[in-house]
Amino acid sequence: MGIRLLGFFVRDSQVAVPALISVCDGLSVLYGLNGAGKSRTIAEIQRFWKGQQSPLEALIQLPADTNGSSRMPVEGLDDWDEDWERARGRWADRGTEAALTAWVRSCFDPEESEFADRYVLPGRSAGLVGDWLRYRLLLVAAAGEADLPQWVSAPALVTGPECPYATSEFALYEAYENSHDDEVYAQTGIICVSPAGRIGDDRTVACAALGGIGVLDMPAYYAGHHRRLPRLTPSLATAVDDINEATRILLSSTVDEDLEVVGNEVAASPALTDAVRQVEAVANLHFARALQDAPTLRLHVSVAGLDETVQWFVDHDHYVATPTRGGTGFDPIYRTRRIDELSTAQRRWAVWGIQRALDAADPQGPGQRLLLLDEPEAALHRSAEAQMAEYVATLPSDGATNVLLATHSPELLNVPTANVYEVARTSGTRSVSELTSASREHLEELGLLPSDLLRRQRGLVLVEGLHDTLVLEALLGAELEALRVETRALRGTHHVSPAALGVLFDYTPAHIFVVFDNIATAELNDLMKKVTVLSESGLVDEAVRLLNRPTFLGSHEWDKLRELIQRCVESGTIRRFTAFGLTAKDVLDYLPVDTFVPGAASWADLRSQHADARKDRPGATARDFKVWLRGRPHNADLSSEHILKAANSLDAIPGDFLQLFKTVQARVG
């Protein structure tokens, strides 16, 4: 069993505990603004494989000792240990597994270090080693130069109920970091871990540390310095510099006889002909799936056989105009083009298709691989981008290909199975945050897709349903668009939760407006001002008590809105949140009633009729007012088209909507 590469942490991340960028779990997508560092991250991963210094830490997992042997050889570590300064010396007489365990123990054991006089609880190091043996994780950083590759490694632990010592040690670290209380340090002694990153929502990866210094940043006496990288799974799928030469080598290794004598002439053997046709077919399959209207790839092998020319080209897709013999005009003559003459997008996917074909023809196979792509949508029009994204999403289905890409493509961001990471830059520092599965579910609650996070709206107005959206767009659509403010329907107040609101704060810079019906506008505005002042003054508890006092705002809508406001107060995001109430019971109440029910006196009169019907015939009358309106005898047309028509027929914008626009303008204008 090989050494598994799980992913990368960005060491220069502004986030104290950055998210792990997974590279072993299918498709992973990096998104963010131009200049945020997406392409840089892809380039740094390539530098990591070359041993050139970069601000990344790779998280790798060594295989378990399934035989119970303390001297079990670990695949890849034999080569690694040869140039590992510490293993060569101190533990040279031990087997690979024993030497590795002894090194891990020393990294968690300050009794063997210069910090021994400050060490208090020696039993903790044994527990940490036991937790390490459960997952056998290492953090590896590249620390060399172009002509002198080098890597440095340190043991890593993961928190969780199955690793109690690691969890406890990290809690000690947090207690000291949060308080900087010397008494805490005096009680705990030296703390043996420091945070490296986060996996998922609630698990922390911690690096071995002595005296607050991560082992990766310490000299070779503690850290494992080595000049070769162990064989990792997946391995990096590197681009072939010479695709023609790679094809020649592959065919030479798989075809026994490339030529045969037919009569007095030498011709390609049937085995070579079949191999060429098979490679061509597979290459064109992938090329056509990846690239819309892809030309046909052809493989030319010289009549002299594989020892001579082997070249890929595109068959008859281009023509040049040449003069006719009489000189009276021009005739189109089609010619072939070499791969290096193709456009950027064509060349990228042609080479990839050919590599896939060579992998398929190789009896050894490529093994697990990691494909890195930087903006694969570049130079593609929208429909071609959609086809490319659909193809890329299928690549992991072969069980051997993992993909990490940087993109601005909505099509790639919205792949349901993709791991999505936001790369952002604040004050010159990069941060990487994972859009977790829970966060994606919260986006769905709000009617949003991951690609909506690319839009960088200045404001988001969340309303209860489709009818609210239609009316708001009809009355204020152009004005809101000018402010870069978008409206989203929640499909009812129950579809917005504090957690969903938190996702918007975490992944967008937008000011969030929540607009509910059936809430007194002026009274709510007054309450919001008081709560905001208290919150910004640091009086959070008092602001929460004010929210939870009995109020004349009492309604189902207010109960939900109060929950959201309290979340913003407690999380410190109240400056990015505005609650707004529409006084009417429903947004339809702002539209002419006779547009929907000819002859009706008012919306209040219709609601009274509905209440009476519910009282007289509860079993035969719809509970929902709008459902009742659609039925007999009113047969009200509540279609989107009719609601838009009614909203556009208003002579003036209702006062509540004018106040809403002024509020939005004040917050984002």
DSSP letters spanning 627-662: HHHHSTTT-----HHHHHHHHHT-SS--HHHHHHHH
- Please, is 664 exposed, middle or buried when counting C-beta atoms within 10 Å of its C-beta (0-12, 13-18, 19+)? buried
Q: Which of 517, 660, 651, 662 is nearest to 584 (CA)?
A: 517
Q: Which pLDDT belongs to residue 453?
A: 86
**From CA 288, how far away is CA 291, in angstroms rounded?**
5
| 266 and 348 co-located in one domain | yes
Of the residues 376, 410, 435, the one at which a domain ends: 435
230 falls in which pLDDT band (50, 70, 90)?
Answer: confident
Whether residue 661 is found in the same domain as residue 515: yes
Residue that has been written with the tokens 């209440």 in this structure:
611
- SS3 for 406? strand
pLDDT band at 555 (very low <50, low <70, confident <90, very high): low
| The domain boundary residue, chosen from 365, 395, 421 | 365
For the chain, the distance separating the N- and C-terminal CA atoms, rounded to the nearest angstrom, is 59
User: Is residue 496, in this structure, part of any structural domain at all?
Assistant: yes
Same domain, 333 and 351: yes
If asked whether residues 392 and 356 sit together in one domain, one would say: no
Clarify whether residues 182 and 81 are in a common domain. Answer: yes
The reply to whether 616 falls in a domain is no
Residues 430 and 461 placed together within one structural domain of the fold: no
Among all chains, which residue has been given the structure tokens 């998280």?
A: 59
Residues 422, 466 within the same domain:
no
Mapping DSSP onto H, E and C, the string for 491-503 reads CCHHHCCHHHHHH
Taking all residues of the chain, what is their mean pLDDT, rounded to a whole number?
82
Which residues, in sequence order, are CB contacts of 311 under 8 Å at separation 6+? 244, 299, 300, 338
Q: Which residues contact 11 (CB under 8 A, 6 or more apart)?
A: 55, 56, 57, 141
pLDDT in tens, 619-633: 778 888 889 899 888
pLDDT at residue number 83: 41
Q: Of 406, 435, 464, which closes a domain?
A: 435
For residue 74, is pLDDT > 50? no
- Judgement on whether residues 223 and 253 belong to the same structural domain of the protein: no
Name, in order, each residue with C-beta under 8 angstroms of 293's C-beta and a sequence gap of 6 or more: 384
Polymer length in residues for the chain: 669
| CATH code (residue 473) | 3.40.50
Task: Decide: 156 and 137 in contact? Cβ < 8 Å.
Answer: yes
Q: Is residue 9 in some structural domain?
A: no
Please say whether the beta carbons of 71 and 95 come within 8 A.
Answer: yes
Crossing angle of the two packed helices 466-482 and 655-668, in degrees rounded to 10: 50
Rg (CA), the chain: 33
Provide the domain limits for residue 466. 448-587+654-668
Distance CA 502, CA 594 (A): 41
- CA-wise closest residue to 133 among 169, 161, 166, 110: 166
Is 634 part of any domain? no
Q: Does residue 644 belong to any structural domain of this protein?
A: no
User: Per-residue confidence at 76, pLDDT binned at 50, 70, 90?
Assistant: very low
Helices (H), 305-381: 344-361
- Calpha distance 512→576 (Å, rounded): 6
What does the block give as tokens for 556? 């189902």
Lowest mean pLDDT among 98-102, 462-466, 644-648: 98-102
User: CA-CA distance, 171 to 184, in Å (whole number)?
Assistant: 12
- In this structure, the strands spanning 137-142 and 151-158 are antiparallel
Could you give the 3-state DSSP secondary structure of residue 434?
strand
Question: Is pLDDT of 69 > 60?
Answer: no
C-beta of residue 56 within 8 angstroms of C-beta of residue 141: yes
Share of the chain above pLDDT 90, in %: 36
Together in a domain, 167 and 198: yes
Vertex 39, ends 216 and 21: CA angle to 5°? 50
pLDDT of residue 105: 79
**Helices 243-254 and 344-361: angle between axes, nearest 10 degrees:** 10
3-state secondary structure at position 371: strand
* H or E element, residue 282: helix 270-290
Query: Same domain, yes or no, for 453 and 490?
Result: yes
647 vs 230, 390, 467, CA distance in Å? 67, 40, 10
Give the CATH number for residue 416.
Answer: 3.40.50.300
Whether 42 and 78 map to the same domain: the answer is: no
443, part of any domain? no
Please say whether the beta carbons of 417 and 27 come within 8 A.
yes
In 10 A of CB 640, how many CB atoms?
11
- Please state, in angstroms and rounded to a whole number, the distance separating the CA atoms of residues 348 and 352: 6
**Is pLDDT at 333 greater than 60 in this prediction?**
no
Mean pLDDT of 111-125: 54
For residue 662, being part of any structural domain is answered with: yes
- C-alpha span between 62 and 81 (Å, rounded): 14
Bin 353: left if φ > 0, else alpha if -120 < ψ < 50, else beta.
Answer: alpha
Residue 598 lies in a domain: no
| Residue 119: predicted pLDDT | 46
pLDDT band at 73 (very low <50, low <70, confident <90, very high): very low
Asked which of 63-77, 241-255, 653-667 is least confident by mean pLDDT, the reply is: 63-77
**Token pair of 316, please?**
């008859």
Our count of domains for the chain comes to 4
pLDDT of residue 169: 87
How is residue 71 annotated by DSSP? T
Nearest to 8 by CA among 431, 19, 369: 19
For residues 111 and 19, state if they share a domain: no
pLDDT band at 158 (very low <50, low <70, confident <90, very high): very high
- Tokens coding 403: 């993909």
Q: What is the pLDDT of residues 14-54, one digit of tens each?
A: 556 788 999 998 999 999 988 889 999 999 999 999 999 88
Asked if residue 497 has pLDDT above 90, the reply is no
